[in-house]
Amino acid sequence: MGEDLYKSAIPIEHFLPHRAPMLMVDSILEISPTHVLCNFLVQDENIFVEDGFFQEAGLMENMAQTCSSIVGQTFYDEDYNPKSDKRIIGFISGVKKLAVFQLPRTGDVIHTESTLTSQFDGDGYSICTMDVRAKSEDRLLSCAEINLFLKKMT
């Protein structure tokens, strides 16, 4: 399962500014203006791994980065080159209905899926609400509703 997932995947670095050790998504498997499916291999050296388990804070960061990639795609062209040199600042403005059911182990691949449920665009900023679920194989690990605030920096 592992290598096949990555063959047609889009590197997440094309959509997010995060880099190691804070990058908690490996690649995008599917993406549209309102939906994204990402994957992430939990490795021993990850900063959120403790006693062989990927901790709650890591799951939350994985889900937030997955959500951010939906909005992040609007800043790249079809060849994944930045459309401009403008920067974006973004942060989680709220988390609702967060539930963690199970922690993944090192070696597990997390599949995180997010759907944009609402978006308000103002003058140079965007406020988004997204539903997100993280799974490993057929096990639901975590789910939440996340609000993001994004602003273009001039």
pTM of the model: 0.84
C-alpha span between 37 and 81 (Å, rounded)? 20
3-state secondary structure string across 54-72 = ECHHHHHHHHHHHHHHHHH
The total of structural domains in the chain comes to 1
* pLDDT tens digits along 40-91: 999 999 999 999 999 999 999 999 999 988 877 665 555 555 554 556 677 8
C-alpha span between 38 and 135 (Å, rounded)? 11
144 pairs with which residues across the strands? 132
CATH number of the CATH domain containing 92: 3.10.129.10
Which pLDDT value is given to residue 5? 41
75 pairs with which residues across the strands? none
Which pLDDT value is given to residue 3? 40
Q: Which structural domain range is residue 122 located in?
A: 2-153
pLDDT band at 4 (very low <50, low <70, confident <90, very high): very low
What integer best gives the mean pLDDT of the chain? 85
* pLDDT tens digits along 21-37: 889 999 899 999 999 99
